[in-house]
Structure 1
Amino acid sequence: MDLVNKKWSVDKLMSIRKEVLATWHTGKDVEDIEEGIKYQKALPKSKIFALKLLEAKEKGITLVQPRAGVALVNEHIALLQYLQNEGGADLLPSTIDSYTRQNRYEEAQKGIEESIKSGRSLLNGFPAVNHGLENCRRVVENVNVPVQVRHGTPDARLLAEITLAAGFTDYEGGGISYNIPYAKNVSLEKTIYDWQYVDRLIGFYYENGVIINREPFGPLTGTLVPPCISHAVAIVEAILAAEQGVHYLTLGYGQCGNLIQDVAALQTLQELSEEYLQKFGYENRHITTVFHQWMGGFPQDEAKAFGVISWGAATATLGKATKVIVKTPHEAMGIPTKEANAQGLKATKQLVNMLKDQTIPSSKELEEEKEIIKKETRAILDAILKIGEGDFAKGIVRGFEAGIIDIPFAPSRYNAGKILPARDNNGAIRLLDAGDLPFDKEILDYHKKKIQQRGDAEGREPSFQMVIDDIYAIGKGMLVGRPN
């Protein structure tokens, strides 16, 4: 395939669409795309994800959203209703099961059948493709707030077709963020091409009067991802989506744990995304932000887990994220009960309400952090554009090959895996090893100095052991992995 960042024609979209809809029998129910557009247009404004996000952004408030999904339709609806009514969720998800994420629909069907027999969900999410159009519409129709598709799918085309026609008004993921952190052997050329289809489909809906919000997956591989890496991926995915006609984008960032760095990251994500979209001629794009609460290991003790959740809630609110994705006190134990999920929402909502009128004032430390994030992110984005000879689609593929963009701890063989992040003495994420990232001496010296300050404070030489210690720190009740 000749991968380029160029808007697809409608003819190309419709030609490939026939192949996509034929991959599972429920695809036939959405063959009439005009019917899906008509259904979307009939939705009340209260169920349009982007409109609720923009209202929150204008008011300076942070919305709360859980993760949630089970195998059977009635049970899934009941779960979402509980999180809406008891948990106070402002926005709702339908988290998709692992079989569907890998396009293994026959196995997903077996999971549905076994779940019916056992009387409980035996899948780790909602198999939307198997349930098909009408059942997915039942989900949308039986809740009062907007619903998003959350998944983790390298090839998410059929899932998009069914859920968009069913009235879901937000679609998460991207060709980079749902490949490199999730898959081992799937090429970037394929996933970016497949996600161009998804984005062109959403662009087509927009051209026909329907607003669908898009949300690249911000946290990537977890809590030790430097802000410049997640920013670069989010902005490239935003540009790729905008080229295909997407107008509403929510860019994400995963909590790292240091308040100043996290607030700086949220502020610069908004600033840099707007800067680059405007720079390349994508006008009238609406950008909001999402903050993901702690994506690493959790304490097993529920009281301690609430401490982690509350710190994430406070950071999201003080950083003025448009929404926050909420964790539960059962994170260390697996899939949470609906009660635990609601508890996480209520704890977060309490912090959001208490802190909504407060901000982090400008300071030398905050401005310094913002400046280093901007320098690093621009260096990566400009290097991607250069190696791609002006094309971000080509550049991101070549950039991963060259290691000028590199996601730590990712399973993909298309990722260099050379960079090593570790915390500095204040818990901010720095680079113990910058690999082949395109940083100048000033940036590299900055990271070296910050890591060395921690080494001096701990009485040890900076090494890979710091990385290991930081990965396990939260489970032991700390942010920075100090020696005994």
Structure 2
Amino acid sequence: MQLQNKKLDWEQFLQIREEVLKAWPTGQEVDLTEAIAYQKQIPVHKRFGQKLEEAKKEGITLAQPRAGVALVHEHIELLRFLVEEGGADLLPTTIDSYTRQNRYNEAQAGIEESRTAGRSMLNGFPAVNHGLAACREVTEAVPVPVQVRHGTPDARLLTEISLAGGFTAYEGGGISYNIPYAKEVPLERSIRDWQYVDRLVGYYEEQGVSINREPFGPLTGTLVPPCISHAVAIIEALLAAEQGVKSLTLGYGQCGNLVQDVAAVRSLEELADEYLSRFGYQHVVVTTVFHQWMGGFPQDESKAFGVISWGAATAALAKATKVIVKTPHEAMGIPTKEANAAGIRATKQVLNMLKDQPLLENQEITVEKELIKAETRAILERLLEFGEGDIALGTVRGFQAGIIDIPFAPSRFNAGRLLPARDHNGAVRLLDFGNLPFGEDIKEIHREKIAQRGKSEGRDPSFQMVIDDIYAIGKGMLVGKPR
């Protein structure tokens, strides 16, 4: 059956569900009626979407770290520490890499090794292996809402267990958790699997339980042009809304130029409202998340705090609803809980200092915002053409044609022709447009800005600029200018 953006028939969903729950023994613990009853007794102050909606109304930015370890009690200890010592407003449960690839036998081995070693031998929390009771132990043990964060092309079983386990927010999508994460997973398959996820979330919504959904905004993390991450976010928002999702948080990864980043956050929310309304999805609450710098970090902790604080300031001035916090140990691997808490405290200090500042607006931001909107609309409209009005089908065809293209992604279902580089002021532009459906007016803006940089640096624009930009922040700069 041809892929389409159409709400899954409930009987069809239940047939698929029988097989999904058999993928690992803990799937048999999930009883949907009991799970909904359990979710309904979770207090309002621990409901993720509710807290985001309140923050949006108040115009403040909430801070959320990343965190996850292998064993239940150690994971609870970590999350409590991040609230008590870091001041986290929202909490994550980052899932381990084996679970992300549905390799539950290896995740189980990692749990056993962690028990033997007395420390986590996994890079996250294996929620599927731990099962329903353990997930509830985690979510009940902390005083703030908790979200599942992972990177899973097929997240159906993880969704069933984690929602029944009391998590009130769930990250990911069929594009954002496939193209940047996997090489061999067909896009059509991952979109279908995530339609299941969103149909399940939509069913909870129908029963009076709102689960927040968040597509993964940064994608490959480094030098992703705003129009690319915006297009993916809006596609995944439309796919989720069709399945009945009502609480959506759309994300964007920091590029580093204040004007472009503020313009990106504001344009993302406006574009999402525009497209959701256009396709008739009413009563969907859209909030935004800003991810602090996702590229290379300086090894020096003091310099790393500078990068973290710049991200916090940008999130506050853009009025993002929440910010995903990095740590001063980013350059060295998985952080200690102390380093993680320190990153949150640094972020919160800046957020608190800037919370009463008005939304940053000026002519430069307005011009940049309109450019991002024009680029994003060009991509989305061509995808709708390719899909004959259906965004799901158009997305698969569009990726095949390179109409949408994520730079530096490992997937063989991604064209990989797009080549971004910074302009003289550090905004991300395009050195090679690949097959993006931009008019000459948009292309000329990019060419002029990159040519201006080349002139100021005394060199012709080339791939070397891209390489220099990727390593620049780790070396203490934003733009990779020759020394």
> The TM-score by the shorter chain falls in which range?
over 0.9
Q: Matches of residues 111-190 of structure 1 in structure 2 within 5 Å?
A: 111-190=110-189
Are 1:10 and 2:10 counterparts? yes
Task: Tell me the secondary structure at the aligned position of residue 231 of structure 2.
Answer: helix
Q: Matches of residues 267-282 of structure 1 in structure 2 within 5 Å?
A: 267-282=266-281
Deviations 1:239-289 (A, max 9, x none): 000000000000000000000000000000000000000000001100000
Output the TM-score relative to the length of structure 2: 1.00
| Structure 1 position 12, deviation (Å) | 1.2
Contact 2:319–2:359 (Cα < 8 Å) also in 1:
no
| Structure 1 position 310, deviation (Å) | 0.2
Paired position in structure 2 for 1:363: 362
Matching residue's letter, 1:83: L
Matching residue's letter, 1:314: A
Task: Tell me the secondary structure at the aligned position of residue 238 of structure 1.
Answer: helix
Output the TM-score relative to the length of structure 1: 0.99
Q: In 2, distance between residues paired with 1:153 and 1:252?
A: 17
Q: In 2, distance between residues paired with 1:2 and 1:207?
A: 27
Consecutive aligned runs of 4 or more in structure 1 exceeding 6 Å deviation: none
Task: Tell me the secondary structure at the aligned position of residue 291 of structure 1.
Answer: strand
Contact 2:317–2:360 (Cα < 8 Å) also in 1:
no
Deviations 1:333-384 (A, max 9, x none): 0000000000000000000000011135432211110110010000000000
Paired position in structure 1 for 2:74: 75
| Structure 1 position 10, deviation (Å) | 1.2
Matching residue's letter, 1:417: G
Are 1:476 and 2:475 counterparts? yes
**Total equivalences in the alignment:** 483
Task: Tell me the secondary structure at the aligned position of residue 331 of structure 2.
Answer: helix
Paired position in structure 1 for 2:322: 323
Q: Matches of residues 246-257 of structure 1 in structure 2 within 5 Å?
A: 246-257=245-256
Task: Tell me the secondary structure at the aligned position of residue 461 of structure 1.
Answer: coil
Deviations 1:30-75 (A, max 9, x none): 0x20000000001000111000000000000000000000000000
Q: Aligned Cα RMSD in Å?
A: 0.6
Which moved further from structure 2: 2-11 or 64-73? 2-11
Paired position in structure 2 for 1:427: 426
Paired position in structure 2 for 1:242: 241
Q: In 2, distance between residues paired with 1:353 and 1:463?
A: 41
Paired position in structure 2 for 1:26: 26
Q: In 2, distance between residues paired with 1:298 and 1:361?
A: 26
Contact 2:69–2:75 (Cα < 8 Å) also in 1:
yes
Q: In 2, distance between residues paired with 1:465 and 1:117?
A: 47
Contact 2:292–2:312 (Cα < 8 Å) also in 1:
yes
Q: In 2, distance between residues paired with 1:439 and 1:353?
A: 40
Contact 2:49–2:212 (Cα < 8 Å) also in 1:
yes
| Structure 1 position 18, deviation (Å) | 0.5
Paired position in structure 2 for 1:453: 452
Contact 2:262–2:360 (Cα < 8 Å) also in 1:
no
Matching residue's letter, 1:9: D
Q: In 1, distance between residues paired with 2:37 and 2:9?
A: 22
Paired position in structure 2 for 1:354: 353
Q: In 2, distance between residues paired with 1:377 and 1:262?
A: 15
Q: In 1, distance between residues paired with 2:126 and 2:362?
A: 47
Task: Tell me the secondary structure at the aligned position of residue 249 of structure 1.
Answer: strand
Identity of aligned residues (%): 73
Paired position in structure 2 for 1:45: 44
Matching residue's letter, 1:245: G
Task: Tell me the secondary structure at the aligned position of residue 333 of structure 1.
Answer: coil
Contact 1:419–1:433 (Cα < 8 Å) also in 2:
yes
Contact 1:140–1:166 (Cα < 8 Å) also in 2:
yes
Contact 2:85–2:341 (Cα < 8 Å) also in 1:
yes
Contact 1:319–1:359 (Cα < 8 Å) also in 2:
no
Q: In 1, distance between residues paired with 2:284 and 2:191?
A: 21
What residue ranges of structure 1 are gaps of 5+ in the alignment? none
Paired position in structure 1 for 2:229: 230
